[in-house]
Amino acid sequence: MALGLGLGIDKSGKSPWLPSDESTLVAWYKNGTGITLNGSDVSAWADSSSNSHNMVQATASKQPAFNASTGALTFDDGAEQYLESSSDIGGVNGMDDEFIVGFRTNPTKNNIVNLGHSDSTTEMIKFAPSNNNSIRVKPASATVDFDMESGHQIQDDCTWIIVRKNNGEVSVYKNLPSGGTLVQQDSAKACTGDFILNIIGKRGHSTANWFEGTMKEIVMFKDVADADSDALRDNLFARLKSL
């Protein structure tokens, strides 16, 4: 289902919305910001929230490339590239209740993990498991797959927003490339349990499902009241879509 968003020019004189305007922000890997370079590769991507969940990679061969003109990080699965935080996003229980996770990305193959956890085989957001045109959201032991709507592909250069409300159901949204409308993918589904993440680009498993493609920005919020959830989702979409 399409969501018509009012994304016109703001004539109020207010500053543009930023994730840091929200008290529920727990991690923000901001486009082109907080990047530490090793030549043209990324050895660290600092958390632009106040929570210091900084993502680092000390091994040079495992560092993603950086495009200074777009702010995008390019991950090569053949080189097993990833970034990892020493602390769990959201604390010891991660995102244990309501949450919103948004990212602007362009995966270039299937069966790859966008976000995961170093000590868990289960915690992850995975593109096209088993080569299907779907996205998997897996907190704890819950495995929930969302099929793409007609015309939508996993390998789209687009914005994704994943929302869990206080009834424990998750909804997944994305736009078409260069599309101005956020579209819900599949129906909302029960998806409960603590969601503990600390890695960009793989999961903690012998089959790591290394990410391949580009990432421009990742933003996470926890304990988002249902009354605020839709407005936050729409503000986040407007930001990520513009990158």
pLDDT tens sequence across 12-71: 567 899 999 999 999 999 999 999 999 999 999 999 999 999 999 999 999 999 999 999
Instruction: Report if residue 58 sits inside a domain.
Output: no
Residue 187 pLDDT > 90, yes or no? yes
Domain total for the chain? 1
Q: How far is CA 104 from CA 66, 163, 174, 239, in A?
A: 15, 15, 10, 10
Is residue 167 domain-resident?
A: yes
Residue 66 resides in a domain: no
Q: Is the pLDDT of residue 10 over 50?
A: no
CATH number at residue 106: 2.60.120.200
Check residue 5 and give its pLDDT. Answer: 44
Residue owning tokens 């736009």: 175
Closest CA to 2 of 183, 185, 187: 183
pLDDT greater at residue 5 or residue 164: 164
User: pTM of the predicted model, to two decimals?
Assistant: 0.94
Q: Please indicate, yes or no, if residue 81 is contained in any of the structural domains.
A: no
pLDDT over 60 (residue 212): yes
> Is there a domain that residue 10 lies in?
no
pLDDT at 89 over 60: yes
Q: Does residue 138 sit within a domain?
A: yes
Residue 224 domain boundaries:
23-31+86-241
pLDDT band of residue 230 (cuts 50, 70, 90) is very high
pLDDT bucket at 7, cuts 50 / 70 / 90: very low
Which residue carries 């939508």 as its tokens?
Answer: 152
pLDDT for 4? 43
**Backbone phi, psi, residue 179, to 5°:** -85, 145
Query: What pLDDT, on a 0 to 100 scale, did the predictor assign at position 140?
Result: 86
Between the CA of residue 233 and those of 163, 177, 219, what are the distances in Å?
A: 8, 18, 11
**What is the SS3 string spanning the chain?**
CEECCCCCCCCCCCCCCCHHHCCCEEEEECCCCCEEEECCEEEEECCCCCCCCCEECCCHHHCCEEECCCCEEEECHHHCCCEECCCCCCCCCCECCCEEEEEEEEECCCCEEEEECCCCCCCEEEECHHHCCEEEEECCCCCEEEECCCCCCCCCCEEEEEEECCCCEEEEEECCCCCCCEEEEEEEEECCCCECCCEECCCCCCCCCCCCEEEEEEEEEECCCHHHHHHHHHHHHHHHHCC
Classify residue 91: in a domain, yes or no. Answer: yes
Q: What is the pLDDT of residues 55-67, one digit of tens each?
A: 999 999 999 999 9
Q: Tokens 């958390």 belong to which residue?
A: 47
Q: 194: closest CA among 52, 114, 92, 100?
A: 92
- Contacts of residue 131, defined as CB under 8 A and 6 or more positions apart, other chains included, come to 110, 111
pLDDT number for residue 141: 83
What pLDDT is stored for residue 13 in this prediction?
A: 64
